[in-house]
Amino acid sequence: MSVQEPAVRLEHDALGTVEVPANRCWGAQTQRSLQNFAIGAERMPEEIIRAFALLKKAAALANRELGRLDEDRCRRITAACDEILDHRWDEEFPLKVWQTGSGTQSNMNVNEVVAHLCTRMDPAAPEVHPNDHVNMSQSSNDTFPTALHIAAVLALEDTLFPALGKIIAVLRRLEAENEDVIKIGRTHLQDAVPLRFSQEISGWRASLERDREMLEAALGKLCGLALGGTAVGTGLNAPPDFGERAAAALAAVTGKPFRSEANKFHALTSKGELVFAHGALKALAADLMKIANDVRWLASGPRCGLGEITIPENEPGSSIMPGKVNPTQCEAVTMIAVQVMGNDAAVGVAASQGNFELNVFMPVIAYNFLQSVRLLADGMDSFRKNCLEGLRADRERMKEYLDRSLMLVTCLTPRIGYEKAAQVALLAHREGLSLREAVLRAGLLTEEEYDGLVDPAKMV
């Protein structure tokens, strides 16, 4: 008969012994968190776990340089972190967002998994302890805000910016393709004076470029790290230059300009940099909502709407109305924008909870910030590929609206005055005349004079 493997093993912490599933790499504190915080379905974001792995690797390298950690333990800790970064142990990080506000249990989850992996590598080697070695020179109070900043920087630079750059490039192409298209402008949802369709698109593009500039401004602040402050910002139990060395190691590993935050008391309790950065994400969400709404209004129809542009027909739009196609990509973008705006409120309120020497709402900040980045990046990619790349101007419809517009009268005001121009526009509207017919009926201009003045190409 084969010997059955035990289902659990015993792990211990300061409070005593805990049963842990035998096939798991986590320890007692992770298990207690699973039992005590069975709340919701939202797990600690993957980006935070990866940031912790980078942080623990950098901390081990710094501790080795400072002579606090021996070469063998450093080698095994950094190797374990690399395995985590390679997604080999994703299921070993099951903890929920809704835990202690400092993120202590997630810090210990990483510490325990790294220590366990070190033992697996060489069971006969000296012990790697979760607290004494993996967490050396650190506290959850400085590691979680550090991981939060690392995750935010990587998410913005490596996930959001590529998606943003691609959508800007498509808008720039659409600009060039529609340079010769003149259409009627609209303000207050009412007819206004003409503009080039390329000029309208340029407004969309410039808005997204400005959003990127604001996010780039936020990045510099996010690169400051709390690591080295330990429990309350004093750096107790950490060498004086540990924060600087660990930040330098992180910069070397990631290629990002991370640095040690000068004032650790600020770094532990204030989350202003994240509020600032998420505000820029909210600005991006607001501009994307505006663009998506413009696109779906301009594409409304096909027969009873504006119909100035066409967008790809990706799927049937109705379960009852055959042939209906809806602007679904626009709707997805606008829903994402609403979610990001809600996340911004959560981030702002959470950041205000910096009581004394520590903010205790950090997991919910992490969850909302990183969700916003993911949604915006994915949403921009989808909107670009499934809508904007196939957007086309209906030149005939645009010209029809342009020719019918009464707001072309604006170019006559220098010649006939504002009041007479207004009277002519009202006459044309009430009696169903063209602007040209109304001007001639009123005897204000000759045909030649009107045709010489009213030229939409001169008005853009």
How far apart are the C-alpha atoms of 190 and 155, rounded to whole Å?
40
Question: Structure tokens of 45?
Answer: 């974001």
Tell me, what amino acid is at 111? N
Catalytic residue among 318, 352, 429, 434: 318
- SS3 label, residue 187: strand
Catalytic residue among 188, 207, 260, 319: 188
Sign for the pseudo-dihedral over CA of 198, 200, 206, 212: negative
Q: Is 429 a catalytic residue?
A: no
Contacting residues for 43 by C-beta, under 8 A, at least 6 apart: 93, 94, 95, 96, 97
> Which residue is listed with tokens 């340079």?
179
Q: Is 188 a catalytic residue?
A: yes
> Which residue is listed with tokens 């924008």?
337
How far apart are the C-alpha atoms of 95 and 103, rounded to whole Å?
10
User: Exposed, middle or buried by CB within 10 Å (0-12, 13-18, 19+), for 37?
Assistant: middle
How far apart are the C-alpha atoms of 259 and 281, rounded to whole Å?
23
Q: Do residues 249 and 62 touch, judged by C-beta distance below 8 A?
A: yes
Output the CA torsion 171→274→99→234 (10° steps): 150
Distances (CA, A) of 322 to 306, 313, 318, 326: 21, 13, 7, 12
Q: Do residues 454 and 408 touch, judged by C-beta distance below 8 A?
A: yes
How far apart are the C-alpha atoms of 273 and 267, rounded to whole Å?
9
How many CA atoms does the CB half-sphere of 97 hold within 13 Å?
Answer: 19
- Residues with catalytic annotation? 188, 318
